[in-house]
Amino acid sequence: MLRALALPALLLACAGAWAADAAPVPHIVAVKAAHMLDVRGGAMVDQAVVLIADDRITAAGSKLAIPAGAQVIDLGDKTLLPGLIDMHTHLTGNPEDAGYASVAISVPRATLTGARNALRTLNAGFTTVRNVGAEGYADIGLRDAINAGDVPGPRISASGPALGITGGHCDDTMHAPEYKLQAEGVADGVDEVLKRTRQVIKYGADVIKICATGGVLSFGDDPRASQYTLEEMKAIVGEAHRLGRKVAAHAHGGDGIRLAVLAGVDSIEHGSYIDDEDIKLMKEHKTWLVPTLYLGDWLIENAEAIKLPKPLLEKARVVLPAARRNVAHAIQQGVPVALGTDAAVYPHGLNAREFAVYVKLGMTPLQAIRSGTVNASQLLGWSDRVGAIEAGKFADLIAVNGNPLKDITELERVQWVMKGGAVVR
C-alpha cells in the first residue's frame, strides 16, 4: 500500500522538477559604453552599463556589476541614448509621390514601400514612430507585420486613413469630377465623422489623424483656412478619447489651430502660422505642438528633381519659411514640443536632421533631444515603454560617436541600434 502511494508522489515530484527545468531562462545582455545620456535628468553618465533581460531594461547606471554568464556588448567610447521617436511620419510614401505621381501607386505597392522605409527609419535610430495617414490601412498592416517579426522596423502607432472634409487637404483633389473619386477618410457632418472615427478604430487605428486646415501638398485649399467645424472636431475627439485613442490634428493656422485645441485634440501637427492666441490656448490646454521643419530645406531644394507641381511649390515657398519664424516664437514661449518630421515629404532615414533645426530656433540640444524621446513618449501615452533608458522600458537604444549635447548633429550619424534587446544595426 505504501509503495502504491509513493509512486504517484514520486511522479508528481518529478513532474514539478521537469516543469522547473523547462521554465525559460531570460537572456541577459549587458551593454557597456563610455557615456550614456540621462535624457530625463540631463546628466551624462560615464562608464555606463545597461542590463537587459530579454526585451526589457532591468537596470542602467555607472559601473553596474555584470551578472555571470551575461552577453556583453562593449561599445567602447561611444555615447548611449534611448531610441529616438518620430511623431509624424508617412512610411508608405516617398517625396517623388507628391502630386499626380501618386495616382499610379496602389495600396499593395505603397505597403511594400513602407516596409523598405521602416527599415531605413529604424537604421537611422528611430525605434518608435507615429504614422499619421495611410490609405488602405497600409500602415496598420505594416505595424502588424513588424510586431509579428515578419519585417524589420520601428514600433508604430498607426492612424490608418486620415479624416477630412470633402475637397479638403485629406481628400483626393487631383481628379476631374467625372472620376467621382474621394479619399477613404472623408466624412462630413457630426454623424458622419462619428461613424468614420469608429470605423478606423474598428480596423486597427491606434491614433486618429484629422485635417483641421488646408495643407501645402494638396490642390485647391488654403493652409490658413479651417476645414472641420468645432462641432465636427468635438465629435471626433470625444469618441476617440472615449475609446482610448488620441487625436492628432493637421493644422497650419488661421482659426484651425484654435478650433482644434478647443475641441480637445492632443497635438497640433505643423503649426506653421501659430500666433500668440494659439500659443496661449495650447499652453492652457496642454496641447502638444509637433513641428515638421527640416522638410522646408529639402523640399524647396529638390522640388524640380521630384517634379513637384507648380501650385504646390508656390504654396511651399510661402508657408515653409513662415513656419520657421512662427514655431521659433512658440518654442520661446514654452509650448510643449514633440519631434515630428513628415518623412515622405523628404527621404526616410534623414529624420534626425529635424533636431538641428530646433536648436537653430532656440532649443538647447537637451531640449531638442527630449522632444524626440521623453516628450514624444508622453504624447504617445507610452511613457512606461519607451523614451528613456530606465528599468522596465523596452531595451531600445542607440549609440553615437560624440556628445550630442555639444553637437546635436551627432544624432544624424547613429552608429549602432538596438530594438527590444536585439541589435538591428
Domains of the chain, CATH where assigned: 28-82+390-423 (2.30.40.10), 84-380 (3.20.20.140)
Contact 315, 293 (CB under 8 A): no
Which residues touch 244 (CB under 8 Å, ≥6 apart)? none
Compute the average pLDDT of residues 51-58. 98
Question: pLDDT value at position 103?
Answer: 80
Helix (H, G, I), strand (E, B) or coil at 383: coil
Q: Which of 16-25, 91-100, 234-243, 363-372 has the lowest mean pLDDT?
A: 16-25
pLDDT of 17 higher than 80:
no
- Give the closest residue to 147 by CA, choosing from 138, 137, 155: 155
Residue 280 bears catalytic tag: no
Which residues touch 336 (CB under 8 Å, ≥6 apart)? 282, 283, 286, 287, 288, 289, 375
pLDDT tens for 229-281 read: 999 999 999 999 999 999 999 999 999 999 999 999 999 999 999 999 999 99
Q: What CA–CA distance (Å, rounded) separates 138 from 144?
A: 10
Q: Which three cell numbers stand for residue 417?
A: 541600434
Q: What CA–CA distance (Å, rounded) separates 285 from 266?
A: 9
Residue 242, CB half-sphere, CA atoms under 13 Å: how many? 9
pLDDT of 23 higher than 80:
no
| Residues counted in the chain | 425
**379 burial via Cβ count (<10 Å: 0-12, 13-18, 19+):** buried
pLDDT of 12 higher than 90:
no
Q: Which three cell numbers stand for residue 110?
A: 505603397
pLDDT of 51 higher than 60:
yes
Q: What CA–CA distance (Å, rounded) separates 364 from 386?
A: 22
Catalytic residue among 171, 206, 278, 342: 342
Q: Which three cell numbers stand for residue 106?
A: 496602389
Question: pLDDT value at position 2?
Answer: 43
In whole angstroms, how far apart are CA 20 and each of 9, 24, 27, 53, 361?
A: 17, 9, 17, 19, 58
Q: What CA–CA distance (Å, rounded) separates 401 from 395?
A: 20
Compute the average pLDDT of residues 63-74. 97
Contact 316, 299 (CB under 8 A): yes
Angle at 109 between CA 223 and CA 178, to 5 degrees: 55
Per DSSP bridges, beta strands 56-62 and 155-158 are unpaired
285-321 burial, b at 16+ Cβ within 10 Å, e below that, comes to: eebbbbbbbbbbebbeeebeebebeeebbebbeebbe
Question: pLDDT value at position 92?
Answer: 97
Number of H helices, E strands in the chain: 12, 15
Q: What CA–CA distance (Å, rounded) separates 100 from 123?
A: 30
- Dihedral sign for Cα 348, 145, 369, 59, please: negative
What's the mean pLDDT when you consider all of the chain? Answer: 94
Question: pLDDT value at position 5?
Answer: 47
pLDDT of 418 higher than 80:
yes
Catalytic residue among 32, 78, 209, 393: 209
Residue 63 bears catalytic tag: no
Of 122 and 9, more confident: 122
Q: Which three cell numbers stand for residue 142?
A: 505594416
Question: pLDDT value at position 21?
Answer: 53
- Give the closest residue to 400 by CA, choosing from 412, 387, 390: 412
Question: pLDDT value at position 22?
Answer: 58
